[in-house]
Homo-oligomer: A and B are copies of this chain.
């Protein structure tokens, strides 16, 4: 597969409108670059305690069920790595086991029983707080280096487009929660809350009455459907409604 071979894969992602189509494109990526299995997963910060998860699985169903049942997401070293990092992770039993927690050891061993022995995982983090990752897996005991060098750049790009496509496909269905419009003034008020200012301090900064600051923050709470200011701050920051400023 040449470097330009990914262009049509990405176009296929952009034109996909169903999960099945996305699944097909991921399968094609696998074939093109010599992997047997893939799995895509993402976590949308609709809540901190119970976020929204999306999976597109090309893994054996039995393994997926086992994984879910045991809540392996908090053990899986690829998830742990990708949740914190921005560059791909190469993994096989040996390379992961330099940090051999018994649980991780067991996890890797069980995965291998399902034909998932080595592979590469690509993390993506979005400005809207989404965390997504794509893993490509192989039955080979040890990672095949030339294979990796081929897929490394393509996979990173592909995963970004894949997640973008997933958001597009799923947004209309299930995620109106993450599509809230805050007015300019509302964002300004919330911004100063994140800087630790009180209502009164914010009112002096924006040159409005303290009551008006409260008014805007009340509207934000209603829009976001949250019960107090702390939750509003957490949601707004996590979902990127307010971002650090660009004024130096």
| B231 and A196 contacting across the interface, CB-CB below 8 Å | yes
Once A153-B153, A230-B196 are accepted as A-B contacts, the answer to whether A248 and B68 lie under 8 Å apart by CB is yes
Q: Chain B residue with minimal CB distance to A234?
A: B194
A53: Cβ under 8 A from any B Cβ:
yes
Q: Which residue from chain B places its CB closest to the CB of A244 in the assembled complex?
A: B51
Q: How many copies does the complex hold?
A: 2
**Which residues of A184-228 are within 8 A (CB) of B?**
191-196, 198, 226-228
Instruction: A246 to B74: give the CA distance in the assembly, Å.
Output: 6
Task: Name which of A40-48, A100-108, A110-118, A136-144 contacts chain B.
Answer: A40-48
CB distance from A248 to the nearest CB of B (A): 6
**Tally of A interface residues using CB under 8 Å:** 68
Measured between beta carbons, the chain B residues less than 8 angstroms from A18 are none
A175 at the interface (CB under 8 A from B): no
Within 8 A of B (CB), among A68-87: 68, 71, 73-74, 79, 83-87
Residue A154 lies at the interface, judged by CB distance under 8 Å to chain B = yes
Interface with B: A21-29, A57-65, A90-98, A123-131, which one?
A123-131
CB distance from A144 to the nearest CB of B (A): 14
Considering the complex, give the chain B residue whose CB is closest to the CB of A2.
Answer: B3
Q: Give the Cβ gap from A185 to chain B, nearest Cβ, in Å.
A: 16
**Binary interface encoding of chain A residues 138-169 relative to chain B, with 1 for a CB under 8 A from any of its CBs, else 0:** 00000000000110111011001101100000
* Cα A86 to Cα B166 with chains together (Å): 13
Give chain B residues whose Cβ lies under 8 Å from the Cβ of A134: none
A246: which B residues are within 8 A, CB to CB? 43, 71, 73-74, 79, 83
A213 to B195, CA, bound (A): 22
A76 CA to B74 CA, complexed, in Å: 40
Inter-subunit contact B3/A71 (CB<8 Å): no
Is A39's beta carbon under 8 Å from chain B?
no
- Judging by beta carbons under 8 Å apart, are A242 and B194 in contact? no
For window 1-33 of A, CB contacts with B under 8 Å fall at 2-4, 6-7
Given known contacts A6-B153, A125-B125, A153-B6, is B164 in contact with A245 (CB within 8 Å)?
A: no
Mind listing 23 A-B residue pairs with CB under 8 Å? A3-B3, A3-B150, A43-B244, A45-B244, A49-B245, A50-B245, A51-B244, A53-B248, A71-B246, A74-B247, A83-B243, A85-B127, A87-B157, A125-B126, A127-B131, A131-B243, A153-B156, A156-B160, A193-B230, A194-B230, A194-B238, A229-B230, A233-B234
